[in-house]
Amino acid sequence: MLVSCKQQPDELTKDPLPNIIYILADDLGYGDLSFTGQEKFKTPNIDRLAREGMFFTQHYSGATVCAPSRSSLMTGLHTGHTPIRGNKEIRPEGQWPMPAGTFTLAALLKENGYSTGAFGKWGLGYPGSEGDPLNQGFDTFYGYNCQRLGHHYYPYHLWSNDKKVILSENEGFKKGQYAPNLIHQQALSFMEKNQEAPFFLYYPTVIPHAELAAPKEYMEKYLGKLEPELSFTGLDKGEEYRNGDYESQPNSHAAFAAMINLLDDQVGEILAKVKELGLEQNTLIIFTSDNGPHLEGGADPDYFNSNGIYRGYKRDLYEGGIHVPMIAKWAGKIAEGSSTDHVSAFWDVLPTIAELINSDVSESMDGISFLPTLLNENTQKEHGHLYWEFHEKGGRQAIRKGNWKLVRYDVNSEGQYELYNLNQDPSEEKDLSKEMPEKVVELSMVLEASRSPSEVFQFKQQAFNAEKKSE
pLDDT in tens, 315-330: 999 999 999 999 999 9
- DSSP letters spanning 206-253: -TTPSS----HHHHHHHTTTSSSP--B----SSTTTTTTSPPPBTTHH
Q: Does 1 score more than 50 pLDDT?
A: no
E strand residue ranges, 73-183: 115-121, 140-144, 157-160, 163-166
- With beta carbons less than 8 A apart as the criterion, state whether 324 and 28 touch: yes
Average predicted confidence (pLDDT) for the chain: 94
What was the pLDDT predicted at 461?
Answer: 62
- With beta carbons less than 8 A apart as the criterion, state whether 206 and 144 touch: yes
What was the pLDDT predicted at 15?
Answer: 77
For β-strands 199-204 and 163-166, DSSP reports them as: unpaired
Give the span between the Cα atoms of 397 and 391, in whole angstroms: 9
Give the span between the Cα atoms of 396 and 413, in whole angstroms: 11
Give the span between the Cα atoms of 421 and 401, in whole angstroms: 10
Chain centroid to Cα 299, Å, comes to 19
- Average confidence (pLDDT) over 395-412: 98
Domain 393-470: CATH class, spelled out: alpha beta
Q: Domain segments of the chain: what residues?
A: 15-374, 393-470
CATH homologous superfamily for 15-374? Alkaline Phosphatase, subunit A (3.40.720.10)
Percentage of residues in the chain having pLDDT higher than 70: 95
pLDDT in tens, 80-126: 999 999 999 999 999 999 999 999 999 999 999 999 999 999 999 99
What was the pLDDT predicted at 305?
Answer: 98
pLDDT in tens, 167-188: 999 999 999 999 999 999 999 9
Q: 3-state DSSP helix/strand/coil percent for the chain, to nearest 5?
A: 30, 20, 50
Q: Which of 208, 198, 288 is nearest to 249 (CA)?
A: 208
Q: Which of 311, 316, 340 is nearest to 328 (CA)?
A: 340
**Domains 15-374 and 393-470 fall in the same CATH topology:** no
Chain centroid to Cα 346, Å, comes to 7
